[in-house]
Structure 1
Amino acid sequence: MKKIINRLTAKNILMLVISFVCMFFLTTASPFYAFNRSVDANTMYTVGKGLLHGLLPYKDLFDNRGPLIYLIHSANAIFSYNSFTFIYVIESLLLFLDIAYINRILSMKLSARTAMFCSFLFIPLAFTSRIFYYGDLPEEYAMTFVLILLYSCIQYNWFDMPRRYYIVNGCFVAILFWIKYSLVIPWVIFFIYVGLACLFTKRFKKLFVIILDALIGFLSVTLPIIILYWATGALKFLFNDYFYLNLTALPCAKRIARIHAI
């Protein structure tokens, strides 16, 4: 608690306030909008609400995203059943982390004032693109996690990186894997690089520790999901719908949609 209070500097408070103010207008999940026009957000929210009524994604309700994104929307339904307020809070906190870590990275080479100014330029660059659209996207989580990964890679050499960073990145991989598994590519590249570096420099013990730490982080998120679906007899639905159909049926559907568009 004391550590958190110590980090409540004027700069961090300013970034936090600006993040909440900006997301108030940028995402249709915010209380500023009477209705969330995002089809994807409403789909995720519907499936998330189903969890509160004993309906499991894939077994009882179908959508092609990962189970963790529905759990997040279930938490939103507990917080506010008829709005997306909790999602708005999450998006605001993610934006705060984006700005904070960009500021940390830029502060390594720029003055404090210049780094702060450039950090805020991230907002129009990222959130005025069509990729963002109405907000409430899996990519928002990935963007924050990638910035934290980038900061840790710049801050430390791979062999000096504290063990907690490998555990945290293992958690990040698991979170994104169970939200939208195509978003884990940066970590695949990172861990392949670290693994090869360990092999070439004959740091075999270090490689074992890194793998162990990454697995601890990954399994801390993954095991509860697997246990839930195994205990409810829905594990086959999870693997069939989330993995098999996404890898086979969805690409075909997208190709057909492009043909119809022509």
Structure 2
Amino acid sequence: MNLKELSKKHFETLWCFITSLFVLTFTTRSSFLFPYNNWDDANSYFTMGKGLMNGMVIYRDLYDQKGPFLYLLYGIGYLISHKSFFGIYIFEIIAGTIFLAFAFKLIKRHSSTSVALVLIPLVAAGVYSSRSFYWGGAAEEFCLPMLAYTIYIIDIFMHPKDAKEYDRISDSKTYLIVGILTGITALVKYTMMGFFFGFAVISICFIIYRKGFVEVLRKALIYILGIVLPFIPWLMYFAITGGLDDWYRCYIYNNLFFYSNITADSISLYEKIYKLAKLQYWLILDNFEYFVWIIVCFILALIFEIKAAKKIAYLFMYASTFFVIFYGGGTLPYYSIPLTVFALPGAAYVADIFQKAYIKYNKRALWCNTAGLVIALSAVFAKYNCLSADYLLQSRQDHWLTRMASHIEKAPDTTLLNVGCLDVGLYTITGIVPTCEYFQTNGIALPTMFEEQSRYIKEGLTEYVIAGEREPDGIYEKYELIDSVSFYDNSYDQVYYLYKLK
């Protein structure tokens, strides 16, 4: 098969890849157009992945509270590029391509290839330049392909072309696949489980309607089997390394009882619902780029769908997703990334309307040329609309991280401690592998973490210390200040201090 035949056969995937590449290159700080991805969360994941690839046991030897599959992905990214986010940039492009590929399939089901070509860049620009997307590299971002596949399956459940298509897509294999995707997502960040709860409830309704209760039980067992499968390699890994208890303590227990307010009794249910409704209002205002598609989805579903269950299916899945993500009290912008997947059925409903115009003015060349223009305009919109717009094409040499790194000795055994803040990125650009369990000050605010970091400083366990917000108590007993920087970024003042062991 020559290149022309290959590109023709995989044209839709190629279009999604081009769209993903164009849009993400201007919006994620992992891109080569940015000096660094200096998002502390992403650097924390990178350092955990680096530790994993250097023989350290995550959760036992290094503390952070995201899921192991995220650290594995970042670890592979580290193997691609030890001191940059180039590997993560590649994975973001791949994840974006898969996400958009299922969006393309979904839109095409309701319209045509030509209409999908035009709408895909608009959806991509809305999702990847929104405030929710943040700076690029979030755990939720890498789960979008799995959510998009599931939404695509739900759409076929709701709008099968014929009985054969429904039977084909609702077989055991599909439930096994969605189960596996559920398990993987749970091992990236389990706050997204509300989405799959919504899927399960809707699936049960459709199965009961078509096949009865016995079939529900059979599909449920297959789905649960799929969920369990991704856990097996990690159970083996942590069992062999003696880290099972640490995995549970860090990823489950501490997240529930220290990181979130899910167990708090200080406010009433009414107050909680009021706060969630207020949060939803601000999410719409802050992320109108993709919420316009979601709102359209809910409105057109009420208008176009005949059966009551289909009218509210997406709304129910959205509510389940939203509730589980935000009930614990966290409101960081990137938490809402999973909600962006509901823009896809909205685009599909719009595509249904566009298709009528396409039939009336059936000029394929016109639509293809329009698609080319739309992808260009979408990239321009994404460039200027994203949160990182002011950071684009800044000089790496003028960045404070470059200056800080220049003070650090370039040796394989150089050690570093990050205190008072999440990983600022110095581990990444210097290539240093952390040697302390609490290598950063995590947002989970464990008393043990503060005690241990104070001990590290008191005993001078690392050659360098970088501190954020304020100078650590007792730091000058063992260390001397060699550099400091203060600047305004991300809506607040930041200050960092770099120390060297005397």
TM-score (norm 2): 0.47
Q: Is the 8 A contact 2:19 2:124 kept in 1?
A: no
Q: Which piece of structure 1 moves more, 53-62 or 199-208?
A: 199-208
- Gap regions ≥5 residues in structure 1: none
Larger Cα-atom Rg? 2
Q: Distance in 2 between matches of 1:210 and 1:202?
A: 11
Determine which structure has the larger strand proportion and give its number.
2
Q: Which piece of structure 1 moves more, 117-126 or 210-219?
A: 210-219
Q: Is the 8 A contact 2:15 2:117 kept in 1?
A: no
Give runs of aligned pairs for residues 50-129 of structure 1, distance below 5 A: 50-129=51-130
* Matched-pair identity in %: 24
CA RMSD across the alignment: 2.7
1:199 Cα deviation after fit: 5.7
Tell me the residue number matched to 1:206: 215
Report SS of the residue matched to 1:51. Answer: helix
Q: Is the 8 A contact 1:141 1:176 kept in 2?
A: no
Report SS of the residue matched to 1:31. Answer: coil
Determine which structure has the larger helix proportion and give its number.
1
Tell me the residue number matched to 1:193: 202
State the one-letter code of the partner of 2:79: I
* Count of aligned residue pairs for this structure pair: 254
Give runs of aligned pairs for residues 205-224 of structure 1, distance below 5 A: 205-224=214-233
Name the CA shift for 1:197/1:58 in 2 (closer, same or farther; >3 Å). same
1:167 Cα deviation after fit: 1.3
State the one-letter code of the partner of 1:164: K
Q: Distance in 1 between matches of 2:53 and 2:182?
A: 26
* Superposed CA offset, 1:78-136 (max 9, x none): 12211222211111122112222222212222243222211211122112222111111
Q: Distance in 2 between matches of 1:220 and 1:6?
A: 35
The reply on whether 1:229 has 2:272 as its aligned counterpart is: no
2:257 to 244, 248, 256: 248
Q: Distance in 1 between matches of 2:206 and 2:221?
A: 17
Name the CA shift for 1:231/1:48 in 2 (closer, same or farther; >3 Å). same
* Superposed CA offset, 1:46-96 (max 9, x none): 111111222222111111111111111111111221122221111112211
Q: Which piece of structure 1 moves more, 31-40 or 220-229?
A: 31-40
* Superposed CA offset, 1:11-49 (max 9, x none): 332221231232222211123323111111100011111
Q: Which piece of structure 1 moves more, 178-187 or 155-164?
A: 155-164
The reply on whether 1:167 has 2:176 as its aligned counterpart is: yes
State the one-letter code of the partner of 2:55: G
- Gap regions ≥5 residues in structure 2: 161-165, 262-327, 331-442, 444-491, 493-502
Q: Is the 8 A contact 1:64 1:246 kept in 2?
A: yes
1:142 Cα deviation after fit: 3.0
State the one-letter code of the partner of 2:91: I
State the one-letter code of the partner of 1:107: K
